[in-house]
Amino acid sequence: MSKTVLQSANPVPPPTGKPVLQLENLSKTYALGKHEVPALSNLNLTVNAGEFVAIMGPSGSGKTTLLNVIGCIDKPTKGKVLLDGIDATELPENQLYKIRRDKMGFIFQTFNLLPYLNARENVELPMEGRGKSKSEQKQRASELLAMVGLSGREEHRPQRLSAGEQQRVAIARALANNPAIILADEPTGNLDSQNKQGIIKLLANLNLTQGTTIIMVTHDSQVARNTERMLLLKDGKIAKEMQGLHANKKNQICPHCGSRIQIKDEICPSCKKTVYASDDLF
């Protein structure tokens, strides 16, 4: 598998904490026959721009519901979803699709690429209707595919790509409109460990170098450990919050010996240990 090398020579410094997402007293109840099943109850959360967040929790804890509500593809029963200060729950559908298109980037467990379009066309999809010329779309899609390590694979259809490559195409697609937030629902759930590692590295590097805000749902603790901020969801509430390994890298401190490191360093100059997302983590 291809090694993730980001082209950006001067990494963007971690953005200062301006809230990009605020959830206030968020509740979501599903009606199951006569019973009402609460999925989220009075949840409060603030995510700042540039954060890499993992949402963890057992099955049925409301992880995916939370992600869908954040992504404006599901409406909460009550509460507010503030995106850049705008309450998305107040917006009608003919405004919401623009938010999904321009502010969100979705990554799915099952990749959800369109099978009859090639990799580049899949990446171009969200750019439709945004006033970009076909050639601009094409160029942007090719750049994004290069960024995720798929140069030369632009014309391949999904069935001719490996699972890991398909998820890279999906990540490129999510990045197409330069969204404020990337929402990833179990992005490594269908991948083997090697591909899993590659995707996590890719997301982490995107976060480091591009300042992309990422909110990722996972039940894989190994994957979650490599994020910056881990949220444990239980009974529709955030039960616990921890710092992940990615925070060390971001804070430019070696997790092993505590000495200063550079963002681009993969191995600590002091203790010579692998700083981040090494194979032994998986």
Partner 1 sequence: MISIPAGVLANEKTANTVASNLSNLISQTGATINQTLTQIDCSLAPSFSGFGFTPPSGGTGTYRSGGYGGSGSGGSGFTPGQFGGGTIGGYFGGDAFSGGRANPMNETLYSDINSTLSGVAAVEPVLQASEGNNVTRNLDFNGYSRTITTLDVTYTIEGVPLTSDLVGNYPILPTNITAGSNLQAGDSGDVLLSENNSAYFGAGVGDSVSILGQSFTVVGIYSPSSVGDTQMLYMNLSDAQAITNNTGYITSLTVFAQNSGDVSSVASEISALHPELTVTTAQDRESALSTEESTYTTALANANASDSTTNSTAIEEIVVVVLATSLIVLFVMLYTVKERTKEIGTLKAIGFSNSTVMTQFMLEGILLSMIAGVVGIAIGMVAAPTIASTLLPSVGGGARLPTGAVVISGTTRFGGLAVATLTPELVLLGFGVAILLGTIGSLYPAWRAAKIRPAEAMRYE
Q: What type of residue sits at position 161?
A: L
Comparison of 68 and 226: residue with beta carbon closer to partner 1? 68
In the complex, the smallest distance separating the C-beta of residue 97 from partner 1, rounded to whole angstroms, is: 4
Closest CA to 78 of 137, 24, 138: 24
- Residue 104 or residue 144: which is nearer to partner 1 going by CB? 104
Q: Cβ neighbours of residue 145 under 8 Å, at least 6 residues apart?
A: 119, 120, 123, 151, 153, 154, 168, 169, 172
Which residues, 150 to 189, sit near partner 1 by CB under 8 A?
Answer: 173-174, 177, 185
Under the binding rule (CB under 8 A), the answer on residue 74 touching partner 1 is yes
Is residue 219 within 8 A of residue 59, CB to CB? The reply is: yes
Span from 36-44, 69-77, 189-197, 271-279 in contact with partner 1 (CB under 8 A): 69-77
Q: Which of 93, 135, 152, 159: binder of partner 1 (CB under 8 A)?
A: 93
- Which of 87, 128, 155, 241 contacts partner 1 by CB under 8 A? 128
Residue 108 in the binding site for partner 1 (CB under 8 A): yes
Specify burial of residue 94 (Cβ count, 10 A radius: 0-12, 13-18, 19+). exposed
Report the alpha-carbon distance of residue 229 to residue 55 in Å, rounded.
9
* Residue 126 in contact with partner 1, rule: CB under 8 A: yes
The nearest distance, CB 245 to partner 1, in angstroms, is: 29
Half-sphere exposure of 157 (CA within 13 A, CB side): 5
276 makes contact with partner 1 (CB under 8 A): no
Q: Does 114 bind partner 1 (CB under 8 A)?
A: yes
68 binds partner 1 (CB under 8 A): yes
Applying CB under 8 A, the site for partner 1 has a residue count of 25
Residue 140, number of CB atoms within 10 A of its CB: 20
92 binds partner 1 (CB under 8 A): no
Dihedral, CA atoms, 54, 57, 62, 67, nearest 10 degrees? 10
- Residue in 165, 163, 136 with CA at minimum distance from that of residue 151: 165
Contact positions vs partner 1 (CB under 8 A): 68, 71, 73-74, 93-94, 97-98, 100-102, 104-106, 108, 112, 114, 125-126, 128-129, 173-174, 177, 185
